[in-house]
């Protein structure tokens, strides 16, 4: 059984794949926060801005087999030229994503991207692996395509993760989880300046912004 909060066709908004047409498959559940506001303050990750609880989002649901979920995701891809690309995210997708589902996505013609907090081993077959560490949670993945760090995090300074081998290293300015996507967020404005300054001083790192929020798309 696979539990999906929502699935939708959009443009990837961050990192090395920014601007690429993608189907996002947001899995339910996370191992660093249960998603309940009353428990946010005591969670390992207390700045999440995503609703991943349940299966009641757009195109969400429960899927008995890998093939059923892969077919559902394929139905959201347009009949047009271009390599289909699915981004498995969450919550924490590696609580559910497994090799049979990856194989089913491949059988439907998809490249498979994953955005994970890195605390769980990644199954074989992933085409693009993005690791986004959170707080002091132990990261067990040691090699990935991109490392995307929400910045600043007092318990997760960038230098802590330089032992992770990645093709790309990104800083993403932390936003206030209580401010709407299109709202004025002085916290994010301040953190964008801090991330910019860090990238200028440490050019191994690149700045990435949440383009989808700037554009007002999913």
Q: Which positions are catalytic?
A: 24, 30, 45, 48-50, 115, 212
Determine phi and psi for 63, rounding to 5 degrees. -130, 125
Taking alpha carbons only, the member of 163, 176, 3, 8 closest to residue 78 is 8
**For 128-139, b where at least 16 C-beta lie within 10 A, e where not — what string?**
bbbbbbbbebeb
Taking alpha carbons only, the member of 12, 15, 50 closest to residue 30 is 50
Q: Which CA distances in Å does 171 have to 3, 8, 160? A: 30, 25, 13
């Amino acid at each position: 059984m696979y539990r999906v909060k929502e699935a939708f066709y959009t443009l990837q908004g961050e990192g090395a794949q920014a601007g690429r047409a993608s189907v996002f498959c947001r899995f339910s559940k996370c191992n660093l926060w249960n998603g309940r506001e009353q428990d946010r303050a005591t969670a390992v990750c207390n700045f999440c801005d995503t609703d991943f609880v349940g299966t009641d989002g757009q195109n969400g649901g429960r899927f008995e087999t890998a093939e059923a979920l892969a077919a559902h995701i394929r139905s959201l891809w347009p009949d047009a030229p271009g390599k289909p690309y699915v981004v498995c995210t969450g919550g924490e997708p590696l609580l559910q994503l497994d090799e049979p589902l990856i194989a089913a996505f491949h059988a439907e013609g998809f490249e498979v991207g994953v955005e994970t907090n890195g605390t769980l081993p990644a199954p074989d077959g992933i085409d693009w692996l993005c690791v986004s560490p959170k707080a002091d949670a132990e990261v067990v993945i040691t090699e990935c395509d991109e490392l995307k760090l929400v910045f600043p995090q007092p318990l997760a300074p960038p230098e802590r993760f330089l032992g992770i081998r990645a093709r790309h290293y990104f800083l993403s300015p932390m936003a206030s989880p209580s401010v709407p996507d299109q709202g004025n967020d002085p916290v994010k404005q301040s953190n964008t300046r801090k991330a910019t300054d860090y990238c200028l001083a440490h050019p191994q790192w690149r700045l990435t912004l949440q383009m989808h929020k700037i554009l007002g798309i999913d």
